[in-house]
Chains A and B, each alone.
Chain A
Amino acid sequence: MGKATGFLEYKRKSANYVEPEKRLKNFDEFVVPLDEEEQRIQAARCMNCGVPFCLSGVMYGNSVSGCPNGNLIPEWNELIYQGNYKEAWERLSKTNMLPEMTSRVCPAPCEGACTNGIDGDPVTIHYNERLISDKAFENGWVKEQGEPISKTGRKVAIVGSGPAGLSAAWRLNKLGHTVTVYERNDAVGGLLMYGIPNMKLDKNVVEKRVNVMKELGVEFIVNCNIGKDISYDELDKEYDAILLTGGSTIPRDLNIPGRELDGVEFAVDFLTENTKTLLKDGHKSLKDTMKGKNVVVIGGGDTGNDCVGTTLRRGANVVQFEIMPEAPEKRLANNPWPTFPRVKKTDYGQQEAIHLQGDDPRIYEINSLKFNGENGKVKSVDTVKIEWKKNNEGRFVPVPIKGTEKTYDADLVLLCMGFTGAEKYTLDEFDVISHEGYRTNDKKVFIAGDMRRGQSLVIWAIYEGRSAAEEIDEFLMKES
């Protein structure tokens, strides 16, 4: 709280996006932060609540309210308003090992729980975080928070370099352990690298973090698939503890007729490929590569939106299917503050589609029935509209509405309906059959992140990574 009455005096002002016209021309980040002074004033809107719901991280139903990582939001808001960015960075990095990532990709449950949101607009916590992390990288403050204390001589292997793995690696390295991170893909970052397109999270950002970590002594080994390229036994010999942070990487499939057709792909594969090409060959290599193609994106979440934005940039026409009803503009009574707001959000991809195609690409309460193909390639999707009704057991189920059958042209169908869990081969390799907290049935094997808790937010992964690191540290030091 820079100012007790800040929330009354200043209006919320969010970062700007580059105009769709312009941003559609490349895969560059499109968020244009406010200038420093404006963002600093935004921090004055924080009320420094006695009970800051923003940092609570409580689960109500399936969604989280407030920051699961307990980020010390009021503390750094105050420091931003004071213009004390260095210390703001310290308080931010005390809990968040990867704020430059979350300040770009996090859906900000903190803002949903912000007290200002009860009757007004929440504080721009997300962009405040961005300001601090930008400052930190600009000024080279990042490294000093990770400087290791005296080496313990203990070695830890981390399997998977996504946010959980990186978060754990950062902490363990700082605690003096020797950390090696294994990544099966060709670059470090997991989901951050290939799961999220460049315009949302510039891959330079990931690279910068990884570079700092390398400078601090973390070793990264890419293209190394544990369980396939290296066995458990080999790790067991080399390391005192192993942390599994492989993520939840098995995409949910849609088993309807025609699923085997070419052009029906998992979004994650498509996006990975897209980013790889971008990094290798630049924007131009992708431009107009899908011109005149019809793309159907199945799934209404963030990844679906990323697919919309990505395919639009490559020249396609896009529709996006969502099985759920259209969300309301405002919170409903059964979704009160501080629960995660279930309101309609028109994200960058959808905005761009509206810009290009005139209409919102989203079609709600629609079910795909069948992929139709020609020569083994998908050509269209048969659909029907549905409504949600209670079944005999009292659960809501989708019921087709007669006469609403419709076929959509499709040259590419992207399935983005989430992930079902971790790679079985990894778990099998480590013989993990159960876990309690971050510990598994094998006392030196730990597990964290989406691999442990299932598909969730980056910020959860960060929390799990650092929490697991503390347990590993305790384990290692007790053994000594």
Chain B
Amino acid sequence: MSTKESKVDQRNYTFNQRPKSKGLYDANYEHDACGMGFISHLDGKPSRSIVDDGLIILERLVHRGGTGAEEDTGDGAGILMAMPDKFLRAICMEESNVELPSLGEYAVAMAFLPRDDKRCAALLEETEQIVKAMGFKLLLCRKVPYSYFDAGPAARDCMPNFYQLFISGDGIFDVDGDLEHKIYVLRRTLEQKIRFAGNDDYYFSSFSSKTLVYKGMLHAWQIRKFFPDLEDDRMESSICVVHSRFSTNTFPSWDRAQPCRIIAHNGEINTLRGNENWFRARESVNDGGVFKNVRNSVIPVIDNEGSDSIKFDNCLEFLCLQGRPLPQVLLMMIPEAWSKAVDISKEMKAFYEYSANIMEPWDGPAAICFSDGRYAGAILDRNGLRPSRYQVTKDRRVILSSEAGVLDIPFSETVEKGRLGPGEMILVDTNEGKMYLDHQVKEDYAQRHDYKAWLSEFRKTEEDLPKPKKLQSISNENFGSGIKAFGYTFESIQTVITPMARDAKEPISAMGMDIPLAVLSKRPQLLYNYFKQLFAQVTNPAIDALREEIVTGTEVFIGASGNFTEDAPGNCKKLRLDTPILDSKTYAKILNLNEDGFKTIVIDMLYDIECGGFALETALEKLFENAEKAIYDGATILVLSDRNFTKDKAGIPALLAVGGLHHHLIRKGLRGRADIILDSGEPAEVHHFATLVGYGVSAVHPYLAYRMVEECVDRGYVGDLSKEKALYNYQKAIVKGIVKVMSKMGISCVQSYQGAQIFEALGVSKEVIDKYFTGTATRVEGLKLRHIADETKRRHLMGFGRKSHDLLNSGGVFQYKHDGEVHMYNPETIHIFQRAVRENSYELFKEYKEKLQGEESEQCTLRSMMEFNTRRKSVDISEVEPVERIVQRFKTGAMSYGSISEEAHTSIAIALNRLKGKSNSGEGGEDRKRFETMENGDSACSAIKQIASGRFGVTAEYLSSAVEIQIKVAQGAKPGEGGHLPGHKVYPWIARVRHSTPGVGLISPPPHHDIYSIEDLAQLIYDLKNANPSARVNVKLVSEVGVGTIAAGVAKGKADVILVSGFDGGTGASPRTSTQHAGLPWELGVAETHQTLEMNGLRDRVILETDGKMMTGRDVIIGALLGAEEYGFATLPLVAIGCIMMRVCNLNTCPVGVATQSPELRKRFTGKPEYVENALKFIAMDVREIMADLGYRSMSELIGKATVLRQKVVNNNDKANSLDLSSILVDKNPITRKHMAPLAGSTEWDHYFAAIEALVETNQSVEINMPISNIDRSTGTRLGGWLAKRYGDDGIDHDTIVYNFKGTAGQSLGAFVPKGITLNVEGDANDYVAKGLCGGKIIVAPPKDAAYVPEVNTVIGNVACYGATSGELYARGMAGERFCVRNSGVQAVVEGVGDHGCEYMTGGKAVILGEVGYNFAAGMSGGVAYVYDVNDDLEEHCNMEMITISGVEIDEEVNQLKALIDKHKDYTDSTVAENILSSWNDSIKKFKKVMPIDYKQMLDEIDKARKEGYTGEQMLTIAFERKVATK
């Protein structure tokens, strides 16, 4: 940008003052990720080159950093160094003639101070006084020079003053430890006395005698220019840790730049809220350890203003200063997945379990580089969700960073090239001059104490518990009343509890939600229903708790916290339970617990039902008081119980009691002294348990649900199951359900999820939230205690009132019932709407509209609580933008061919093409026939091609057929989850389009395995723009608090369109819990996104789209007024072509031929494209009428004019009127300017392509030699997309265009490269090699003179061949994690792979000539893997759920394998291949074949059919039918 004016909404912010809450924007929801690394000399030898190389690493990671609205304002970058004594000593002398004491005897504070000189001077003055008063000496206060013009305008506007304070002396206070400890107390004192006393802009980026940090709100490449110090030749160090930040928003954040004082963090702490609270709970119950004499100066430890990384750093620092070595604390805070691992030593497990008693994991994706001046190292989270590649050089330097190849070190100088696997650590000890690999570090700490002995002496498990206490049973009569009082319905028993008891899993539902939000419902709701589950999107991935169960942990630790300032046996005095769901026997035992350090006290959780909200509040106060008293009486386990409910005494809503008590005890500093167990009749469904655990309960005993399960057995609902088995199943389903809920947020451990509050309240007043659910987001106000009491009373009366003898209510949440919840899609609206579109009758459409939103209708959505409010004069409708233009803003939702029938899928596509709107392919690929125009001029080509996590059918040709490419990050009905198309639905025609095998199930993983972070998303967008430069890239998100800041990040990642979906959208199949309880309405999401983008100066960069149960023109208008420019419909067009909301999409039994593949049922399809056209035209006509009425002539005038709306007051619904929509309906300017530039400069390629075209047309080939480095990303993709557009994925011969590269390839080498292109890299490559490969060939091998042994070093990064459909890959050396994930056709040869290899693979071949990591072949439903299993331990590393392992025996197969290895040898000069081949007859015996069971069965059936003489589609169909029939 040429002008130096800030685009960002700044208004005099100082360097760390993000705008506080404003509309829906909340600074708390900022996310960041980045590139990072460290470089160190093994012997701690300081040198200029270490610093220089550190800065180069930063520069080479620029593409991982973020750019805001301004090209030259970065999100932050910085460098942490082991104290650069030489430079400091020299400069102090030079500038001020001050002689520093020797290294280690002085500390340097790097201070950010106010820009305002007066304040700056005053604060310095105050600082000096405190320093002196505490007995230190201020040697020098140096103003750090900087280069003003080398920062962007937004950064400059809020820049701090930089000072280095040089301090020495001992201090005059009593603290055990060295200078570093004393300096810590000094810093904390300064912070408390100055920073927390109202001077937010007083900050120390480092304050230590060992390290120094330079950082700022800069681009990675600016840091060197900005701080001239760094360019000084005398600036030498032995360790540099560097970090380049990609933040999701663009607000001033000099202090949020990293590194922090010890770490550089690439990742996100998902469980931050819980970790903070638990930390506070624990610090309040200990004496401060080494700081006990100055406890008040250092506690609380956590800086509230900090980001997750800073808070992590705070805690880490404190725990280290207590005497634990830095690596040990990291292992405690980010433990690997130890509980289920098979080859971790017992000692190591004991260490981890001991540590778990002290602290729950800080869960979430994390790659952390760290240094305290002596150690340098890095650690990766248990899921391995951030790349970390390291190398060791001949001259004893160790370099680790987010990408390989960040320094141009010759391969011949490199002796080792590796990567961190999940949960791994490497450590350099510059004092000892040694580097330790993962197990070396860990075993060391495991041996330091006899943790096993400590555990066996103090830790309790169920077996150690006393005899059970006799539980007071619930009478039959109380049972009958209780289930009504606690909100059970016939529906919940039949469709939730029964399936869980029967099948041990949660039932599936389809077609989303269309009932009123809890706060609008006139039926009494359980409090749980007001809490919506949050989920990961973009900035961190959801995880697959099912196929990657190995990383999950469900254990909980109960009892008083130990003293975390020291390692002592007593710290493990806790009760360890395997899950948070208690069976009755264990619960009864816990009740009897009263022995050394353990004491259980039961507290009644009841209140007087007649007295309403006041009684409820009083009862809660009393409960808190009782709990405090119990703690003072020695209780370590508080049981809250509503077992004694009576006609007059109702249970306090359990969530309210639990959340309230949790926060009450935190506030009182007592939370660390006891844990909470719940004994309640209320919780019954997964979401109930998830919220309870999420708000701090340790374990739940749901006595009434158990009784209900037994009742289901008695009533014969669950077949022949015994009660024991049914109860077991039910508990299992709940635990699995909770794990699934937390995995949506990317959380692996229940222990971390506990108290993490991963929820947003919808329709709960701030006063209730602040007191009982402190820190939870609630944005539109809502119910107060009196409403909660009222709802409780209404339910209680059902159980105990005059009509208590009536049979249980039906419910009607998912199924329409006459007397159940209101449904927007009900018999009447469906019928009238269908008639309207069939008969092309706008009159009938109006009737339908009236039923939905007329005077008589009930409020279901947030928008139903809004009404128009304008004084503008109406305009004549003839002046309003025509229907034909309005419909161009309409899109249909992503529904895959596979989830719906061909008839349905093409009807919708044809209709939208006729309207010039956009239909969406969904994630199932699309038949290439559809890319061409039909004879009658219609086109069934979906304008939007979706890319989802399964990547089914995603090839270069598919991408090049798109007008818009949509990356589905989350889906409204089940955000944070993947999908599973069961084998019986993979008909031959579906399999063809998806590049898979008929009859074999297909799994879509919860995350995209190439989007673990915001910078990954930016990379995928870059890939796609290369593959098809003319398509808009659309990123689909789901509404939740913070979606606006995520969207800002997505905009910075250069997406063109951002879709914010509502939670209520339909789906073919989703667990009930997700459908109902995950995600939020689009009204909130759209408004927040519009507001946030606008504040960030990013609104003009992107188009904002929304969808989610849009049913009328009014819905569209409200979407527009809140900021959306395009609108999606999915359920509506389905209903237009015949859907009657059967909600059986998952069963393949759709009786109207819409959501089925059954040929029989497809015959029943009666839809026509015209119906969809009519439907959308009616909507547009409705839109026009409203526009005319409101006085607007075009849609674009409306966008973002939220003040045209106001909140409606409704009759007879006090609860609904307690909402406050003012944060949604804020005044935001409409869009001023729209600039859309798909891949700039793409036309420049024309000459180049002309040459290629000439070659191809004349059947010639070409070979090109070039260097390559890590900044060359998506190599080959642009060319591949261009070729596929003209010739298809397989139109030209192999090796027509051959590139020979030398060096380290950047990310996405060969992504979406079709047949004809060969990429040959001499060197190595980063992540995502061969992503989406669709015919091309890729070879990666180190050069001959590499100084390391290729087969034991890493040659390609993580997630190679993701979603690839055909082609070949040969890599000499090891591949990273998730090799061949979701491969469906590529033949690949490598020499070793990391964890989760061949995960979700559905086709193709993987040949692995070396070791494989954990969880190999998880979710693998097709394809074959051949592993050279020299150690004969393959099975231990496999996830055996779907596969079998055998030898390779059939001749034909043996020959094919040999041919592949031959090729590998030829292409890569592999010595491994050579050795194998030279003794082939022996070698072949060591090969194991990994084959999915289903896949094998299907291949056998196909083979059988072939032998019977069938061919082609008929052969497949016969085989498919037989396969499905045998199931």
Binding site for B on A (CB under 8 A): 4-5, 7-8, 47-53, 55-58, 60, 65-67, 69-70, 72, 74-75, 78, 82-84, 87, 90-91, 94-95, 113, 115-116, 118-120, 145, 147, 149, 174-176, 336, 338-339, 477
Interchain residue pairs with CB less than 8 A apart (16): A4-B1149, A8-B1160, A50-B1141, A51-B1142, A53-B827, A58-B828, A74-B815, A75-B490, A75-B494, A75-B810, A95-B818, A115-B1151, A119-B1164, A145-B807, A149-B804, A175-B802
B831 contacts the other chain (CB 8 A): yes
4 residue pairs, one from A and one from B, having the closest CB atoms: A70-B818, A50-B1143, A56-B827, A51-B1141
B1235 contacts the other chain (CB 8 A): no
**Docked-complex contact B816 and A50, CB < 8 angstroms:** yes
B1493 contacts the other chain (CB 8 A): no
In B1136-1160, which residues have CB < 8 Å from any A CB? 1140-1144, 1147, 1149, 1151-1152, 1160
Knowing A50-B816, A51-B1140, the reply to whether A8 touches B1149 (Cβ < 8 A) is yes
Knowing A84-B715, A87-B715, the reply to whether A49 touches B1149 (Cβ < 8 A) is no
**Docked-complex contact B803 and A175, CB < 8 angstroms:** yes
**Docked-complex contact B715 and A115, CB < 8 angstroms:** no
Identify which of A7, A56, A70, A116 gathers the most chain B CB atoms within 10 Å of its CB. A56
**Docked-complex contact B827 and A51, CB < 8 angstroms:** yes
A44 to B831, CA, bound (A): 25
Select A70's contact among B490, B717, B819, B825, beta carbons within 8 Å. Answer: B819
Knowing A57-B818, A58-B827, A72-B817, the reply to whether A149 touches B715 (Cβ < 8 A) is no
**Docked-complex contact B802 and A84, CB < 8 angstroms:** no
A175 to B805, CA, bound (A): 9
**Docked-complex contact A49 and B810, CB < 8 angstroms:** no
Select A53's contact among B717, B1140, B1144, beta carbons within 8 Å. Answer: B1140
Q: Which residues of A contact B1140 (CB under 8 A)?
A: 49, 51, 53, 115, 118
A95 to B810, CA, bound (A): 11
**Docked-complex contact A51 and B1164, CB < 8 angstroms:** no
Select A65's contact among B511, B827, B1143, B1149, beta carbons within 8 Å. Answer: B827
B1453 contacts the other chain (CB 8 A): no
Contacts A8-B1149, A115-B1142, A147-B805 aside, 18 further interface pairs with beta carbons under 8 A come to A47-B1144, A49-B815, A49-B1140, A49-B1142, A50-B1141, A51-B827, A53-B831, A55-B818, A58-B828, A65-B827, A83-B716, A84-B716, A94-B806, A94-B807, A119-B1151, A145-B807, A338-B827, A338-B831
Identify which of B830, B831, B1144 gathers the most chain A CB atoms within 10 Å of its CB. B831
Select B1142's contact among A47, A66, A72, beta carbons within 8 Å. Answer: A47
B701-727 to A contact mask, C-beta < 8 Å, 1/0: 000000000000001110000000000
Q: Which residues of B contact A69 (CB under 8 A)?
A: 818
**Docked-complex contact B1151 and A50, CB < 8 angstroms:** no
Q: Name B851's closest neighbour in chain A (CB-CB).
A: A58
Closest Cβ of chain B to A313, distance in Å, is 39
Q: Which residues of A contact B671 (CB under 8 A)?
A: none
Q: Which residues of A contact B827 (CB under 8 A)?
A: 51, 53, 56, 58, 65-66, 113, 338
Q: Name A48's closest neighbour in chain B (CB-CB).
A: B815
Q: Which residues of A contact B1164 (CB under 8 A)?
A: 118-119
**Docked-complex contact B825 and A51, CB < 8 angstroms:** yes
B1331 contacts the other chain (CB 8 A): no
Select B826's contact among A51, A84, A147, beta carbons within 8 Å. Answer: A51
Select A82's contact among B717, B815, B1161, beta carbons within 8 Å. Answer: B717
Identify which of B804, B825, B1147, B1151 gathers the most chain A CB atoms within 10 Å of its CB. B1151
B687 contacts the other chain (CB 8 A): no
Identify which of B804, B818, B1144 gathers the most chain A CB atoms within 10 Å of its CB. B818
**Docked-complex contact A55 and B817, CB < 8 angstroms:** yes
Q: Name B511's closest neighbour in chain A (CB-CB).
A: A50
Q: Which residues of B contact A47 (CB under 8 A)?
A: 1142, 1144, 1149, 1151
Closest Cβ of chain B to A102, distance in Å, is 15
Identify which of A51, A120, A175 gathers the most chain B CB atoms within 10 Å of its CB. A51
Closest Cβ of chain A to B1104, distance in Å, is 31
Q: Which residues of A contact B490 (CB under 8 A)?
A: 72, 75, 91
**Docked-complex contact B1151 and A56, CB < 8 angstroms:** no
Q: Which residues of B contact A75 (CB under 8 A)?
A: 490, 494, 810
B835 contacts the other chain (CB 8 A): yes
B1426 contacts the other chain (CB 8 A): no
Closest Cβ of chain B to A50, distance in Å, is 3
In B1107-1163, which residues have CB < 8 Å from any A CB? 1140-1144, 1147, 1149, 1151-1152, 1160-1161
B814 contacts the other chain (CB 8 A): yes
Number of interface residues of B (CB under 8 A): 40
A326 to B805, CA, bound (A): 49
Closest Cβ of chain B to A148, distance in Å, is 9
**Docked-complex contact B1142 and A50, CB < 8 angstroms:** yes
Q: Which residues of A contact B1161 (CB under 8 A)?
A: 8
**Docked-complex contact A336 and B1142, CB < 8 angstroms:** no
Q: Which residues of B contact A147 (CB under 8 A)?
A: 805
B891 contacts the other chain (CB 8 A): no
**Docked-complex contact B1143 and A91, CB < 8 angstroms:** no
**Docked-complex contact B818 and A118, CB < 8 angstroms:** no
Knowing A78-B494, A119-B1164, the reply to whether A51 touches B823 (Cβ < 8 A) is yes
Select A176's contact among B511, B717, B802, B828, beta carbons within 8 Å. Answer: B802
**Docked-complex contact A58 and B819, CB < 8 angstroms:** no
Select B830's contact among A51, A82, A119, beta carbons within 8 Å. Answer: A51
**Docked-complex contact B807 and A91, CB < 8 angstroms:** yes
**Docked-complex contact A56 and B1160, CB < 8 angstroms:** no
Select A5's contact among B807, B815, B828, B1149, beta carbons within 8 Å. Answer: B1149
Q: Name A174's closest neighbour in chain B (CB-CB).
A: B805
**Docked-complex contact B835 and A52, CB < 8 angstroms:** no
A174 to B510, CA, bound (A): 39
Identify which of A50, A60, A149 gathers the most chain B CB atoms within 10 Å of its CB. A50
Q: Which residues of B contact A174 (CB under 8 A)?
A: 805
Closest Cβ of chain B to A31, distance in Å, is 27
Q: Which residues of B contact A48 (CB under 8 A)?
A: 815
A144 to B1152, CA, bound (A): 41
Knowing A65-B827, A94-B806, the reply to whether A82 touches B1160 (Cβ < 8 A) is no
Q: Which residues of B contact A116 (CB under 8 A)?
A: 1151
Select B835's contact among A8, A91, A118, A336, beta carbons within 8 Å. Answer: A336
Q: Name A87's closest neighbour in chain B (CB-CB).
A: B715
A298 to B147, CA, bound (A): 104
Select B828's contact among A56, A70, A145, A336, beta carbons within 8 Å. Answer: A56
Closest Cβ of chain B to A468, distance in Å, is 16
A172 to B1231, CA, bound (A): 63
Closest Cβ of chain A to B982, distance in Å, is 13
Q: Which residues of B contact A176 (CB under 8 A)?
A: 802
A145 to B805, CA, bound (A): 9
A83 to B715, CA, bound (A): 11
Q: Name A93's closest neighbour in chain B (CB-CB).
A: B807
A119 to B1161, CA, bound (A): 10
A120 to B1152, CA, bound (A): 11
Q: Which residues of A contact B830 (CB under 8 A)?
A: 51
Q: Which residues of A contact B818 (CB under 8 A)?
A: 55-57, 67, 69-70, 72, 95
Closest Cβ of chain A to B178, distance in Å, is 69
Q: Which residues of B contact A67 (CB under 8 A)?
A: 818
Closest Cβ of chain A to B814, distance in Å, is 7
Identify which of B511, B815, B830 gathers the most chain A CB atoms within 10 Å of its CB. B815
B497-524 to A contact mask, C-beta < 8 Å, 1/0: 0000000000000110000000000000
A72 to B1144, CA, bound (A): 19
Q: Name B1153's closest neighbour in chain A (CB-CB).
A: A119
Q: Name A337's closest neighbour in chain B (CB-CB).
A: B831
**Docked-complex contact A82 and B1151, CB < 8 angstroms:** no
B1161-1177 to A contact mask, C-beta < 8 Å, 1/0: 10010000000000000
Q: Name A7's closest neighbour in chain B (CB-CB).
A: B1151
A147 to B827, CA, bound (A): 34
**Docked-complex contact A51 and B816, CB < 8 angstroms:** yes
A176 to B804, CA, bound (A): 12
Closest Cβ of chain B to A277, distance in Å, is 41
